[in-house]
């Protein structure tokens, strides 16, 4: 079975079982209960995973309303839904709405509940995302590092940890620190590849960015070696090593790369 068909089959199966669960909960406990809210949030996540953001927002908004009505506006379930919707709005570049949702979550997590809850890490991460994506990587960098401490308590291979490392890499890249950015991005991508399915559509952008970093650093390394008087043979060996690393990514994931990449390393 082709990978795209396999992925579609997985999403269809997830949707089928989520809809069955929602039907059972409605018959057992009525249309408004916490369990239906949880299943609705699962359906939102399934839609987001397929990049169906309009459907995802609809499900996420319904889940939030259910949690507010059944679990209460200050409940942890409501907090999770607020963070989830904030993430979606950040992806849609709707930063004002995302900030409003995070402000509510801030009050809920940092004042109503214990500050050391793991979901506080997500709150800090999303606050950092809004700052970075609006051109303030310096302030975002501090929030990402704080979020990282929370994520490391959860698991060494959780996607939240991988995402935070990618965000730190993006900050380093904005400071023109490409070597450090490559190290952080490689670590974050490795975690995402371990925690997500290898064919996950969510890996497209991180892989593309990894190839671009390798390409840039490879060119820069070759230029430095030539300027330092290193022999052309040694320079070509270094370039070949960089090409091999790039090939490992592009050969495995070219079918998912959305744009053509300039992976040329000129040796003269």
Integer Cα distance of 223 and 232 in angstroms? 11
Angle at 167 between CA 165 and CA 173, to 5 degrees: 105
In this predicted structure, what is the pLDDT of residue 117?
63
Q: How many CB atoms lie within 10 A of CB 259?
A: 6
The whole-angstrom distance between residue 19's C-alpha and the CA centroid of its chain comes to 26
**pTM flag (> 0.85):** no
- pLDDT for res 17: 84
Structure tokens at 158: 């959780």
> What pLDDT shows up at residue 196?
83
Question: pLDDT tens-digit profile of 172-186?
Answer: 999 989 889 999 999
Which pLDDT value is given to residue 185?
Answer: 95
Q: What was the pLDDT predicted at 217?
A: 79
pLDDT at 136: 94
Sequence-distant (6+) residues with CB within 8 A of 23 are: none
Stretches where the chain sits below pLDDT 50 are: 1, 230, 232, 234-244, 246-268
Dump pLDDT digits (tens) for 232-262.
Answer: 454 444 444 444 454 444 444 443 433 333 4
CA atoms of 112 and 209, how far apart (whole Å): 39
**Angstrom distance (rounded) from CA 132 to CA 138:** 8
Neighbouring C-beta atoms of residue 187, cutoff 10 Å: 16
């Amino acid at each position: 079975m082709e990978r795209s068909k396999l992925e579609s089959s997985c999403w269809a199966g997830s949707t089928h079982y989520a809809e069955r669960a929602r039907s059972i909960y409605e018959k057992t406990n009525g249309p408004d209960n916490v369990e239906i809210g949880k299943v609705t949030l699962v359906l939102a996540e399934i839609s987001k995973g397929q990049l169906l953001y309009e459907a995802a927002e609809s499900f996420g908004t319904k889940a939030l309303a259910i949690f507010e009505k059944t679990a209460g506006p200050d409940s942890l379930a409501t907090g999770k839904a607020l963070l989830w919707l904030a993430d979606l709005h950040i992806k849609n570049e709707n930063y004002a709405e995302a900030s409003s949702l995070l402000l509510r979550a801030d009050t809920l997590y940092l004042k109503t509940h214990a500050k050391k809850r793991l979901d506080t890490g997500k709150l800090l991460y999303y606050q950092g995302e809004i700052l970075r994506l609006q051109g303030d990587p310096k302030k975002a960098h501090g929030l990402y590092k704080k979020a990282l401490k929370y994520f490391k308590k959860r698991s060494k291979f959780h996607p939240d940890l991988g995402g935070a490392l990618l965000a730190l890499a993006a900050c380093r890249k904005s400071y023109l620190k490409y070597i450090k950015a490559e190290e952080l991005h490689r670590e974050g991508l490795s975690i995402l590849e371990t925690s997500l399915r290898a064919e996950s559509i969510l890996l497209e952008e991180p892989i593309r960015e990894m190839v671009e970093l390798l390409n840039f650093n490879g060119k820069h390394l070759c230029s430095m070696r030539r300027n330092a008087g290193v022999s052309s043979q040694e320079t070509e060996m270094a370039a070949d090593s960089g090409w091999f690393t790039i090939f490992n990514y592009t050969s495995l994931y070219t079918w998912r790369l959305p744009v053509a990449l300039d992976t040329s390393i000129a040796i003269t």
